[in-house]
Amino acid sequence: MRILLVVDVQKEFASTDKGKEMYKKLCKFINERGHEDYDQVVATLYKNGNSNNMKTLVGWTEMMDIEDVDFQADYSLFHSGYCPKYMSFVSKDDTVDVIGFDTDACVLSTLYHLFDADIPFTVFSNGIYSSGGDEMQEAGLKIIKRQFGNALKECEYL
């Protein structure tokens, strides 16, 4: 099965003009190409569940409530860490294309998860964004390139 994995594409992470632009661009891509090009569109959505580590280590207490997203997913997974603990929607026989927010956090964590589960994946360099700004975006991209090499590609439709 071919899966589009949409990591935390949420309005709350799109607080800057650049973020809002990327949010709209990704929603358009998901709505126009997602269900046409993929067997399944799966979204992870961050919602703070008072995770002790998020509170004490990161100091993150926002996003107790989240807004609806502007795209349609076949399946949604809510999480309160950097990625869902279990990704039972995907198997080693699937191929996964990844887009989403934040390059340096949730996207990166999700990629490690897929890598360790031996799931084939591609991450679209022009489909990921960091709400931490350009410096965090570049740092995330450098780590992805170093750790996952050939998995980092551009999507011609983004």
| Alpha helices, H only, the chain | 17-29, 35-37, 52-53, 108-116, 134-148
- In CATH terms, the superfamily for domain 2-153 is Isochorismatase-like (3.40.50.850)
Extents of the domains making up the chain: 2-153
Residues 6 or more apart in contact with residue 107 via CB below 8 angstroms = 7, 8, 98, 100, 101, 123, 128, 140, 144
- Find the mean pLDDT for residues 134-153: 96
Q: How far apart are CA 143 and CA 54, in angstroms?
A: 22
Residues 6 or more apart in contact with residue 24 via CB below 8 angstroms = 70
pLDDT of residue 127: 98
Residue indicated by tokens 């107790």: 64
Answer yes or no: pTM beyond 0.85. yes
pLDDT of residue 115: 96
pLDDT of residue 49: 81
pLDDT of residue 51: 67
* DSSP letters spanning 95-121: EEEEEEE-IIIIIHHHHHHHHHTT--E
pLDDT of residue 102: 95
Residues 12-59 have pLDDT tens digits of 999 899 999 999 999 999 999 999 999 999 999 999 886 678 888 888
Residue 30 and residue 38 in contact, taking contact as beta carbons nearer than 8 Å: no
Nearest to 4 by CA among 128, 129, 96: 96
Residues 97-141 have pLDDT tens digits of 999 999 999 999 999 999 999 999 999 999 999 999 999 999 999
